[in-house]
Every structure is written in C-alpha cells, then in structure tokens.
Structure 1
Amino acid sequence: MPVIRVSARNGIPGPAGGPQSLSRALDAALSDPSVGAGPVTVMVHGFKYAPGCERHCPHETIFSLTPRFRDVDRRIVSWPRHLGFGRPGPDRGLAISFGWPARGSIWNAYDNADRAGDALARLLAELRERCPHTPLHAVGHSLGARVVLDALTKSAPGALDWALLLAPAEFSAPAHAAVESPAGRTAKVLAVTSRENDVFDLMMELFVSALRRGDSMLGHRGLRASNALTMQIDHAPTLAALRAAGHRLGAPEGRVCHWSPYLRPGAFPLYRAIIEGRLSFSRLRAILPEDTDPRWARILPRFATAQTAPG
C-alpha cells in the first residue's frame, strides 16, 4: 500500500471515495510491511485540481503510481513514483495523495486553500500520533504550498520534518509567519522558486488581495530563516553548485513555466534525496548560494541587469 488517497471536505480529511474512516485507513497503511520505518510524504496539488473531477482528479493523475491522461498532458507525471514510492521491498515509506477543491476562480481556490490547511493540519496530527518518530514531510505545488504553510500555522510543534514548497503561490508575509509559528520553527522549509514563474506570481499579486498592503509573492525574494532556504532552479550558480555536489538539475527550457519545479529533469531525484534523508538541511544550506537572480531576469534580462547594476 505505497499510496493512500485522502480528500479534504469542509476542513476535515477523509479517505477518498470510500466509507472507511481516516483512522482505519491510516492504521492499515502504516501497518503494511512495505511502509515500515520509511518516510511518510503528503503530496498537495495546486490550482485547477479537485478530487473526483474527471481529468483534474489528483488521485487519478499526478498523485497516482499509474496516472491517467499522461498521454495527452505532459504535466501529468507520477509524483509518488518519482519520489521513490511504489518500489518493492520493506521500509519504502508511505505517500499520501491529499486532494482538495481547487477549481473555479482563483479567488475561490485561494480561499479554499485555507480550509484545506485545516484538513491537512488534522491529517498531520493523526499521522504524528501514530508514528511520532517517523520522518513526516509535505510537498506542495503552487496553491498546494499555501495549504502546507497554512497547516503549519495550525499544527503543534514537530508536525512536519520537511516542507517542500514548489513555485509557492503565497504572499511573503503569511509564509514568513508560518515559518515562525510553533510548528514552523521545528520544521525545515525549502522554497523552490524560478524566474520562469514570475508571470504567474504577478498575476496572483494583481488578482488576489494580500493581507499586508504591498506584499509580494514568496517567489519574488524567497524565504530566509534559520530553518528555511530558497532554491532558485533557473539560477546558473545554483545549478552549478548542485551539480558539483552530485545533484544534476536540467537547464530551463523556456522563459515561462509554472510546473518546472517538478517537470525539470533531476528535480524529483533531488527531492527524493531530501525526504529519504540523504541530503540534510545543513548540507543543502552549504550547497546553495545566498544570492538569486532578480525578478524578470528570465523574461526581461536587460531590464533585470539594469536593476542590479551599481548606482
């Protein structure tokens, strides 16, 4: 049982498509010998996905070991398989497909992410109660990263070991508040950003109201704290540093892409090294450069160069 499906309904997590209780589903999954002492990883999708919604159901597409519709949409790749789940043998760990209603307007989805955060916080509490010493991680893309950050603000210390935020669709102020929350301070947080995502960040800033006037998306300046790092995956010095450490990420193929943090060749093997404990936070901090490219460096390189030129 390498992958189980959980859906958020009105702020409450439950097994997807079945009458079984969440407690029973978790107990059955965690007792499977193939799970054993391996890590538990909750995968959280972003905008336009929703459980039970034809081609947009995360349980049937990106969070399935055998995704449907992958022949018609290159963005549909199996997260759990690429993260190392589904392989034979004991102690392989458990992947959890976490689905929530993220269709409709961007305003609806952004608000729904807050209620999904309630459900994720409850799920993390259930998991931590059952496996207090098991590595417990969350990987969220886009608005899924907002769900993960929101869950941190509503969780007890120790709820998560790693939070991997891929092209996070969240404003900087609430993101930093989540990292400074009791659960946030005990987690390790990695914001995976890219200048390929600048257009999508701008659209969020234009159409979604920030709680703090003038706040920008997390991808603008990244996330820095004693327990948080930013990894800009289209930053040439970052790619070179990772390559020198044995982690080869492919070069960016275009100027605009919202999905490159998981479609880029080499990205999943890097995340797998993190969740399997082969790449520590301290090692990653030592590898990653402190600087990043300025906003619009990929789309308008001359403008970005002028911004950073000495006065």
Structure 2
Amino acid sequence: MTDEHHYILCEAEQMPIVRINAEDDQISLHRSPRPVYSVLRRTRDVSGPVVIMTHGYKYRPDDAKACPHRHILALNPDGTYFGCPSWPQQLGFGAGFADEGLGIAFGWNAQGPVWAARRRAVEAGRALAGLIRDLRRLNPGRPIHFIGHSMGVELALEALHHSGSGALNRIVSLTGAGYQSRALFALDTPAGRSAEFVNVTSRENDLFDMAYEWLIQPPRRGDRSIGTGLQAPNAVTLQLDCPQTLAHLSRVVQPVGMPQRRICHWSSYTRPGVLRLYNALLRHDDRLCLGCLQNGLPDLPAPRWSRLFVLPRPHALLPFAQKAS
C-alpha cells in the first residue's frame, strides 16, 4: 500500500494518521511528493485534538532498521520490532471513533554524534513551528498537543520560540533531553506561557541525563537537565519511579506499572499503562489540569542516583528467608 493510499484509508475510517518529516527547517510528507498543506487541509474538519508525536535519538526516517514510521510512530509497527509499542494506538488512534482527532507522526534525523543530532533537533523544531502555524490556520479552535521522547522534546522547546500565543496546548515530555534553563526560557515566550508542560522523569534515566550534560554544553554554568525537575507556573514534574507519584496517578488518572530496572531510557513509554496515562493527559487536559496533577505529588523529586544505589530488598537477596508455602 502506498503512503497516499494509507492516508486515504485512514481518512475514510476517520482515524487519520499523517506522517511528516523535517528536512532541515522544512517539512515534507513521508514517502509522498504531495504538499503537506494540501493533505492537512483535508483534515481541518476532523473532530478531536491534534496530537503531534516525535521520537528521540538514533531514529531516522527511511532508515531500514530505525525508521520511526515503522516503529513507535506506526499504527501497526513492523513485525521485526518485537514488543514495540504503537504510540498512535495507545494514544487513542485506530479504533474508528469519530472524535479520535488527527495524529501526526513527526520524523527527523536523530542519528550521528549527539551534538549533531541535537543541532538537527533545533532545526526540526523550526520546521515543527511551521506545521503548527498551518494547523492553527486551518482550524484555530482545535487543541494541538505535543508528545516526544528524549531529544525529541527539543523540537517543542524550539518551536515555542517561533510560534505565537496559543500555538500548543499541552506538551508531554518523556524523559526529555534538555536543560532546565532552556525549558524555562521557552516557557517564558508568548507560546510557552500559554502552554502546559508535563515533565515526565524517572531516576531510571539518570545515566542518560548525565551523559547529555557531559556531551552537550549547557546554556549557563551549573545548569541541569530537566530530568532533575522543572519549576514553572505552567509545568508539573511526574517522577514515574516514585511510589507516591504512582499512587497519586492511579487515583486521579490511570494506573501505571512499577519500574522493573534501575537503568532504562525507554521506560517512560514502555512501562505497562503509561501510554494510556498520556492518552488521558492529552485528551482530557481540561479535567486533568496541572493543579489536579500537582496536588498529591511529593514536594521535591528524588535526587539523582537515588534509584541506582538503593539497597535491594532483603527478600530479593535472601529467598531462603521467605515464608514457605
């Protein structure tokens, strides 16, 4: 099936997923010569929110082994990626409901040295801003949300600098690779002040946060990654390996599975139930306001390395001490 036929089929079933790539600071349809705007125009009356989804480091559109449109951003991931979660499916697309909205799978070249990938993320962020402007022009009242993993969050932060007030409604950052000052500066722009920022973190990601700080020069001396937390009027930090946070989310939104590893860069979207949590945050942002999310969370996130160096539970090391059944 060609990409155009895939799109038409999705539109007929009222579950459009449009695949778009950033090429420098411009956008194009994935594997299609058609103008992006002509395709977006056909979705302007689709009911429901727009959800823009993007990946992190090491993905690249059309890479045989690392194309995001065959992997996490696919409605039906390629069978060679065993166990790969489909973001579009888990975020509410593909069931055939009339109000599913518009899903946009946004790809960019995230391969090569980390510093080079980060530079391209900034360029792709400018391309993303152009896409958001087109979507706003076609349907000014429709909510537009963004969800991205790791370095993909840089796209949203950069897009805020090139967008007007009300460009994005809610940004969900999945263990985002970015500095606190960079995020705060973006959230202080007109577009940033009108958006909500959900900063999903986990101490499972500490090693990767440290690597980012080591490889990418910070905007200012002593800056830390947003994995250590983010304090802003329109931001909330959800630490997914914190028992108090998980209990709170289970009460007000959706249960999420407990962490299984001490080090993991992908648990923010592979943990059982976590993508359905984001589905609720993106589709019910009016009911699940930042205040509702904040009320019940710890005052401060756990310090870095607190998960890596925590002592194992005794019964995990001493099975002979357990009560016999």
TM-score higher than 0.5 here? yes
Matches within 5 A, 1:127-276: 127-220=135-228, 222-276=229-283
Task: Determine if the alignment matches structure 1 residue 95 to structure 2 residue 109.
Answer: no
Contact preservation (8 Å) 1:55, 1:61: no
Which of these two proteins has the greater Rg computed from alpha carbons? 2
Equivalenced residues, count: 295
Matches within 5 A, 1:41-60: 41-60=51-70
Match of 1:281 in 2: 290
Q: 1:130 to 1:287 in 2, by over 3 A?
A: farther
Match of 1:82 in 2: 90
> SS where residue 301 of structure 1 aligns?
coil
Q: Following the alignment from structure 1 to structure 2, what is the Cα–Cα distance between the partners of residues 105 and 119?
A: 21
The offset of 1:214, in angstroms, is 2.2
Task: Give the counterpart of 2:114 among 98, 106, 119.
Answer: 106
> SS where residue 165 of structure 1 aligns?
strand
> Match of 1:186, as an amino acid?
S
Q: Following the alignment from structure 1 to structure 2, what is the Cα–Cα distance between the partners of residues 178 and 54?
A: 34
Q: Following the alignment from structure 1 to structure 2, what is the Cα–Cα distance between the partners of residues 85 and 160?
A: 20
> Match of 2:213, as an amino acid?
E
Instruction: Identify unmatched segments of 5+ residues in structure 2.
Output: 1-9, 11-15, 312-325
Contact preservation (8 Å) 1:171, 1:216: yes
Contact preservation (8 Å) 1:30, 1:94: no
Q: Following the alignment from structure 1 to structure 2, what is the Cα–Cα distance between the partners of residues 216 and 250?
A: 28
The offset of 1:154, in angstroms, is 1.6
Of all paired residues, the percent bearing the same amino acid is 41
**Residues 250-259 or 57-66, more deviating:** 57-66
Q: CA RMSD in A?
A: 1.4
The offset of 1:246, in angstroms, is 4.8
Contact preservation (8 Å) 1:113, 1:146: yes
The offset of 1:71, in angstroms, is 4.2
Superposed CA offset, 1:47-80 (max 9, x none): 00111111211112111111114544x3x21100
Task: Give the counterpart of 2:306 among 285, 297, 311.
Answer: 297
> SS where residue 295 of structure 2 aligns?
helix
Contact preservation (8 Å) 1:245, 1:287: no
Q: Following the alignment from structure 1 to structure 2, what is the Cα–Cα distance between the partners of residues 131 and 60?
A: 29
Q: Following the alignment from structure 1 to structure 2, what is the Cα–Cα distance between the partners of residues 147 and 268?
A: 20
Q: Following the alignment from structure 1 to structure 2, what is the Cα–Cα distance between the partners of residues 246 and 128?
A: 29
Contact preservation (8 Å) 1:138, 1:160: yes
TM-score normalised according to structure 1 size: 0.91
The offset of 1:288, in angstroms, is 2.9
Contact preservation (8 Å) 2:253, 2:280: no
The offset of 1:206, in angstroms, is 1.2
Contact preservation (8 Å) 2:151, 2:177: yes
> Match of 2:292, as an amino acid?
R
Task: Give the counterpart of 1:26 among 36, 40, 48.
Answer: 40
Q: Following the alignment from structure 1 to structure 2, what is the Cα–Cα distance between the partners of residues 146 and 246?
A: 27
Task: Determine if the alignment matches structure 1 residue 126 to structure 2 residue 143.
Answer: no
Contact preservation (8 Å) 1:70, 1:77: no
Q: Following the alignment from structure 1 to structure 2, what is the Cα–Cα distance between the partners of residues 231 and 300?
A: 21
Q: Which runs of 4+ in 1 moved over 3 A?
A: 69-72
Task: Determine if the alignment matches structure 1 residue 68 to structure 2 residue 87.
Answer: no
> SS where residue 30 of structure 1 aligns?
coil
The offset of 1:212, in angstroms, is 1.2
Superposed CA offset, 1:188-217 (max 9, x none): 110000000000011111111112122111
Instruction: Identify unmatched segments of 5+ residues in structure 1.
Output: 303-311
Q: 1:40 to 1:246 in 2, by over 3 A?
A: closer
